[in-house]
Every structure is written in C-alpha cells, then in structure tokens.
Amino acid sequence: MPARPCRRAALWALFSANIILMSCAANTALQPGTPGFYWAAAKQTYAAGDYQKTAENLSNVISSQNEYTERALPWTLVLTSGMAHGYMDLAKAFDAGAHANRARIVDFRREADTYRENANNLALQFAETFAKFQSKDEYVTLAFAYPTGSPTEDLLIGKVTGGTWLKESDLEAVQQHAVERAVLLATCSAAGARNDPAKVLDMLKNSDAKVPRAAFVEAMALALFDQSQLYSRNQMDQPDKLKVFCDRAEDALKLVPASKETQDLEKKIHAAMKKPKA
C-alpha cells in the first residue's frame, strides 16, 4: 500500500514534465522571427482583412524552406496576384476619371500612379514567388479560408470612372472593395472555379482544400499575363518587364494539358508581344 502514493506522485511528475515540454515546444515554434510565428500571424491578419500585412507575413514564411512553405506558397500566389489585379483595376478607373474630369486631372492621375506602383510591387513579388513554386504533386493545397469581399463591382468605381472625385472615406472604401473583390476572384480562378464563388466557399470550408495542380498553374499563367499588361505602353511603358511576364506565362502553360482556354491564352500572349513599341 505505501508504494501506491509514490507511484502516483511519479506519474504526476512525468505528466507535468511532458506538459511543460509541450508548452515550451509550442512557445519556441511561435517565437517572433520563426516560420511558425509568421504563419500564425498570417492567419490572424487574413481573418482581420489586412491583406497587405498577410502578404508580408507569408513572405517571411517562404523566405526559407520549412514545414509551412508548401502551404504558404500557393496562398502567397493567390493573395499577391489578386491584390495586384485589384490595384490595376483602381488605376484603370482613375485614369478614366482623369479624362472625364479635366478640372481634377492631377488628383486622378496621382491616385492612378500610386495604384500602379502598388500593383507593380505586388506583381514582382508574385512573379518571384511563382519561380519558387516547384510542386509536382497532382493536387495543390489551398490552406486558407474563403476571402472577404463581394464578387460584384462596387458602384463607387463607376463614379470614379465617370469623373467623380470621392471624399476621403469613400476613397478608402473603394480601394478596399476593389482589392477584396480581386482577391476573391483570384481565389476562384486558382480553385478551378472561375466565376463560381459559391462553389469555392464550399471548398474552402476545409482548411486544407485540394485543387488540381493543372487548374492552379493555368490560373497562375493567366495572372502572369494579366500583370504583363501593367507594363504596356499606355500603362508603365516597360516593354522588357512585359516580355518577362509573358514569357513566364507561356512557360507555365507548358506545364498543363492543352485546352481551348490555354490555347486562347497563348494567342493573347503572342498578340501582346507583337504589339508595336512606337
């Protein structure tokens, strides 16, 4: 009988030691500067709707090869391509507004230039990240939740295009809506369900949704081509970058089975590169 309390004490001590070790391991994984810390931070900032900070956190995750890299790469690609497209849409709207409202042409063009620069930074990040994407698996994991926002275009964008200069709060709202909408559409494209948000919502209820690699890579090729237009003559006028993005889009298409969609995209790529520089 005297031995039983001793045994219980020993078992409790062992249990307590295991709990402490597990806690220490968890704290170590989430220490600032570690991949685990940035992965957890990306989850939090994404849930809060802060896509810029999420992209920064994911960039820190994929800066090294670690247990989160394989899941962080697709997420980074979807997020940065969507954000870039959103800023391109905003630049296009404010360019149109500058033509419609000559009295405030300077204000409209200043906004358009700012959005184009934002799009440029994100497009370059996207292209660099895609160069790291080496997955040969049949499926790609989308390890993130359904994004915020609506797939419908904001009415305020129409006002901007028509030449209406918005008040500060509306400027912030139109930017947020455009970026959120573009990220949502980029997510649908990457999931192989373009223009079908309801289907993607159902897919992403699973925290590790699987999508066919071919569909994902095709979506990335389309994103590369879309971003190449940022460097066209009537935008940033950087033909060298336009060619790089078109070349990478064409290379990506070689990795997926041919289809009507891929053939149509190839034609667009070739047409873009043949446009006169003058």
In angstroms, how far is the first alpha carbon of the chain from the final one? 97
pLDDT of the residue at 4:
42
pLDDT over 90, % of the chain:
83
In this structure, the number of other CB atoms found within 10 A of the CB of residue 28 comes to 11
Query: Range with the lowest mean pLDDT among 1-10, 86-95, 192-201, 268-277?
Result: 1-10
Bridge partner list, 139: 212
pLDDT digit string (tens) for 60-116?
A: 999 999 999 999 999 999 999 999 999 999 999 999 999 999 999 999 999 999 999
pLDDT per position as a tens digit, 208-257: 899 999 999 999 999 999 999 999 999 999 999 999 999 999 999 999 99
Please say whether the beta carbons of 199 and 176 come within 8 A.
no
Q: Which two tokens stand for residue 156?
A: 């305020």
Main-chain dihedrals φ then ψ at residue 210, nearest 5 degrees? -105, 130
